[in-house]
Amino acid sequence: MDSSLAGRPERVGPVEVGDIKKDLLAEFSAMPTQDCVTIEGPDTVVLKPPRSCQSNRQSDKSLPQTAQRFTFTQVFGPEASQRKVFEGSVRGLVRDVLQGGNCLVFTYGVTNAGKTFTFLGPDHDSGLLPRSLSVIFNSIEGRLYGRCDLKPQRCRDFSRLTPDQQATESSSKRNLLRMLKEVRRVTGSVAAWCERVR
Ligand SMILES: Nc1ncnc2c1ncn2[C@@H]1O[C@H](COP(=O)(O)OP(=O)(O)OP(=O)(O)O)[C@@H](O)[C@H]1O
């Protein structure tokens, strides 16, 4: 319920998420850029504190007072495509894995930095993980173990299944695939219905 005070609507009653949600994009876009992050060549990033923090830094001598330069193996700029990042970082590791090596890839950064985007990516612009799986599966074609008598256990181990266990596994796999098909069918119908009622 709204009441009006000095021309400004005042919210009365419980506050809901919709009431406090605000699109801040326009406000942020209007702010002058501060060039806090600068890419200097293919392997170096320079970080500068925002102007609003500079007075705090002058009083707190434990904080860096000037710009800091960090060097990496490779820096990808904001214009780098998913393909370029994959080719320049993970493709070589996948090649090592296919030759029996072990590799670890992880993303690290503040919230909203783009970790999930880089790792998974949207369907039309896939990230590191789907690209890696695609290379792996395309490379092992023809060398797949056709029988279903092995089951992975944790990350490195496996167990051999008895014929009964194989039958149980096959049946739960079929059920899972059937459920996935059903979910796709239902979500497809819901999406089509939403499109119609728009
Ligand atoms: N390279 C990019 N190009 C276009 N959009 C991007 C890019 N990187 C991130 N985004 C967008 O920025 C937003 C935040 O990205 P993302 O969810 O990947 O961040 P995150 O680091 O995984 O965040 P959190 O730690 O909170 O999960 C998303 O809307 C994502 O689509």
Per-residue pLDDT band at 9 (split at 50, 70, 90): low
Among 82, 74, 72, CA closest to 117 = 82
For residues 154 and 60, give the distance between their C-alpha atoms in angstroms, rounded to a whole number. 48
Binding residues: 109-116
User: Is 3 part of any domain?
Assistant: no
Domain count, the chain: 1
State the ipTM, two decimals.
0.97
pLDDT tens digits for 69-108? Answer: 999 999 999 999 999 999 999 999 999 999 999 999 999 9
Q: What is the pLDDT of residue 53?
A: 76
What average pLDDT does range 148-162 have in this prediction?
A: 89
**For residue 116, is pLDDT > 70?**
yes
CA 175 – ligand 1 centroid, Å? 34
In a domain, 55, yes or no: no
Supply 114's token pair: 């783009």
Q: Annotated binding site for ATP: which residue ranges?
A: 109-116
117 in contact with ligand 1, CB cutoff 6 A:
yes
**CB-ligand 1 contact for 109 (6 Å cutoff):** yes
Residue pointed to by tokens 């256990």: 153
* Lowest-pLDDT choice from 32-36, 66-70, 101-105, 124-128: 32-36
| pLDDT over 90 at 34, yes or no | no
pLDDT at 1 over 60: no
Domain that holds residue 131: 79-140
Look at ligand 1, atom 10, and give the residue with the nearest C-alpha.
114
Amino acid at 170: S
Query: Could you tell me which residue, 9 or 100, shows the higher pLDDT?
Result: 100
Give mean pLDDT, residues 14-26: 76
> Which pTM was predicted?
0.68
Q: Residue 5: what pLDDT?
A: 47
CA of 106 to the centre of ligand 1 (A): 15
Strand, coil or helix: 155? coil
Residue-wise pLDDT tens digits, 50-63: 877 776 666 776 76
Min mean pLDDT across 33-37, 54-58, 107-111, 142-146 is at 54-58
- Between residues 53 and 124, the one the model is more confident about: 124
Is 35 inside a domain boundary? no
Structure tokens, 75: 């820096």
- Hey, what are 134's tokens? 């695609």
User: Is residue 157 in a domain?
Assistant: no
Tell me, yes or no, whether 85 lies in a domain. yes
Q: Which two tokens stand for residue 84?
A: 């370029």
Reduced to 3 states (helix: H, G, I; strand: E, B; else coil), residue 121 is coil
Indicate if ligand 1 lies below 6 Å from the C-beta of 4.
no
Q: Regarding beta strands 8-11 and 150-153, do their DSSP bridges make them parallel or antiparallel, or are they unpaired?
A: unpaired
Per-residue model confidence (pLDDT) at position 57: 65
Q: What is the mean pLDDT of residues 116-144?
A: 93
Look at residue 198 and tell me if it is in a domain. Answer: no
Strands of 37-39's sheet in order across: 37-39, 44-47, 68-71
H or E segment to which residue 5 belongs: strand 2-5
Helix (H, G, I), strand (E, B) or coil at 130: helix
8 pLDDT exceeds 50?
yes
Whether 105 is covered by a domain: the verdict is yes
Whether residue 88 is contained in a domain is answered as yes
| Cα separation of the two ends of the chain | 28
Identify the bridge partners of residue 70 per DSSP, sorted by sequence position. 45
- Of residues 128 and 3, more confidence is placed in 128
